[in-house]
Structure 1
Amino acid sequence: MHAPRTRVQRRPVHGVLLLDKPLGLSSNQALQKAKWLLRAEKAGHTGTLDPLATGVLPLCFGAATKFSQLHLDADKTYETTVRLGVRTSTADAEGEVIATRAVQCSVGQVVEVLDRFMGEIEQVPPMHSALKKDGKALYEYARDGETVEREPRRVTIHEIELLDMRLDGDAPQLRLRVVCSKGTYIRTLGEDIGEALGCGGHLIALRRVATGPFSVTDAITLEAFEALPEAQRLAALRPVDALLGGHERVTLDAEHAGRFLSGVRRRGDWPNRERVAVFGPAASSAHPQAVLLGTAHTQGGELIPGRLLSPTDIQQILDTSEATP
C-alpha cells in the first residue's frame, strides 16, 4: 500500500529565475523542478534548451510570464563543440552514427568555411526538433521513422569565434562561440559546417552562455537553488521588470496610473517609442520603489497600453517584497 502523497500548497510567486540548466534535463523538467521548489502557481520559460545542452535558461513566474515572449525573440550566445568526421541521426551525441569520413581539411579551410556561415543564412530545421508540422512536432515524426518536408528558415549568425581546434587524432573537433538570432539551430549549424568541410560532423557539447542581456555567470544551478532555505529561494528571483531591459521608462502619478491600468490611453509629452515600461508611484514607505504596471508604446503623444499587470499581481508583488528579507 502506497503512503498518501503530500499535496504541495501553491502560492503566488512573481519574478525571474536565471537558471543554469543542467545536462540531461529538458527545459520543462528544469522548470517544473524550480516551480515545485518555489511552490509557485504559474511558471513558464523563455525558449527551450535540449536535454544535452546546458546554460542560462530564464524561468518566469507569475506576472513575469506575460513578458516571456520578449526573450523568445532575443539573440542568443552559445559555446559548442563539433566532432568532425562523424554524422549522427540527430546531429548530436544522442543519435546513432549514420556516416563516418576522414577529416582532411586545413586550418585555412576551417577559417574560410566559418566565414561562409556569417550573416543571414538558410537552415532546414532538424527532424529532431519541437517545431510543428500539421499540428505534430517534428520529433514525433522522427520517432516513427518518418521524414517530412521542412521549409528552410532564414536566421542570422552575428558572430562565429573559433575558440579551439583539433584536426587530427582520434577525435578531431572544433570549439566555437556563436552569437545568433532567435530560431537558430546550433545542431544544424554544426552539421552544415561539417558538410562544408567535406567530412560531416555533429555536436558533442552545447552551452548557452547568454540570452539577451542575461549571462550564465549570473545564473544559479538547480542544485544550489535547491540547497537554499525557502525564504532565500524567493530572494534569488529577479523582479519582473528585469525582462524589460531596453524599454523606455515612463512613471505615472497615481491618477494616471489607475486609468492606464484600466487600459485607457494617456496623453503626454512623449517621443514615439516602440517599447515602453510603465511604472506607477511608490506604494508606501515600506516599498519606496516605483511599481511596474505593464508595457506600452508611445505614438503621437499618447501612451498606448500593451501587456498590463492585474491589480492582484501588483499587490502580491508588493506583499512579497515587503516580506522578503
Structure 2
Amino acid sequence: MAHNVGIIGFGKMGQIRAAALHEDGRARVVKVYDVNLPAGTPYAIAASAEEIINDPAISIVFVCATNEVNKPLAIAALRARKHVFCEKPPAFNADEVREIMQAERESGRVLMYGFNHRHHAGVMKMKQVIDSGAYGRMLWMRGRYGKSVDGDYLKTWRADRERAGGGILLDQGIHMLDLFLHMSGSPFDQVHALVSSRYWKIPGIEDNVFAIMRSSETGVEVSFHSTMTQWRHLFSLEVFLERGYLVLNGLKTSSGTYGEEELTIAKNRATAPAANFDSEERMLFKVDTSWAREAEHFMDAVSLGMPVLSGNSRQALEVMSLVDCIYAHGHNVSPNLHEGLQMVGVGD
C-alpha cells in the first residue's frame, strides 16, 4: 500500500523529492504547501504547513522549506505521529537536535535527514573501498567545497542570519563535514577554525571557513575549506590510507556546475615514488542517482522497518556538534587579530 506524502516547501528541493518518491513507487504525494508555489503544481495545495501535518490521511511529511522552520516543523510532524524526512541543516545547533531526538523517541516514527552526498556513486565507492580494509587504516583527509555567488544572493533568505542560521558552512560545508564523519566513522574532537566574512560582509553569514580537525579516537586528521568565494565551483574529497589513496573530484549534479564526478584510486608502491599517474584507477560516474537512492533508503525504513543508516538523527547530532565547535572557535575574535578572524582549538 502506497503511503500518502505531504511536502512542506515545494521549491527546487520539494520538487526533486517528489520526483524521487514517484520513481520509488511506494509513496504518493497528495498535498503540498509553499508560500510561493510554482505554476502548474500538480498536487492538492494546502493552506498552511499545519494543514499537512494534521491531515490524518498523510503518514509521511517532507520538510523542504527554509532553515529556520526545520526544527519546529520536524518536531510538530513527529508529535503528530508522522514519518519525517527533513532537509539539512537539521537545526541551528546540537542542543536543538537533541530536542528533535526526544520527539523522535516519543513518536516511534522514522526520522531521516537529507544528506544526499552520502548516496552519490563516487562517495559510495570510496566508503566501500575504505571499509574493505584493502588499503589499511585511514591516515588523513582533505576536503574542499566551494561555489560562487553574486549580488542576487543578498536578496535571498540565505543572506538573512535569522532564517539561514549561518552562511556557507550550514549551506554547503555541512555536507563535507558529514562526509568526513561518514568516511572516518569517528568524531573529531580537536578543532582549529577560521571563520570570516571579508568579501560579502553580510552580518552573521560567513563566506569562508577554514578548519583543521583531529579525532583523538583514531588519530585521523582533516583539512577543510568551505567557501562562497570560489569563483569556479569545486568539490574535492581526498582520503589517504596506509597503502593507497582515493580522490573524488567533481560531483554529478543536475546543473553540471561541479563538473564530472571522477574517483581516482591507487595503491602505494614499495619504492619511490609511492604511486604515479600510470598506476591510478579512474572511475567516472555519469549519472546522479543520489536522490533516487536516498528516497529508496527512506522508504525502506518506513515500509520495511529497516534502520536509517545514512541521515539518521545521531549522525545529524554529530555533524551539528562539529558545526557548533567550528563556529564557537572560529568566531572567538581576539582584539589583536584582524576583525572576523581567529584561530583557537579545543585542546588549547
Give the TM bin, normalised by the shorter chain.
under 0.3
TM-score normalised by structure 1 residue count: 0.24
Name the structure where strand makes up a greater proportion of residues.
1
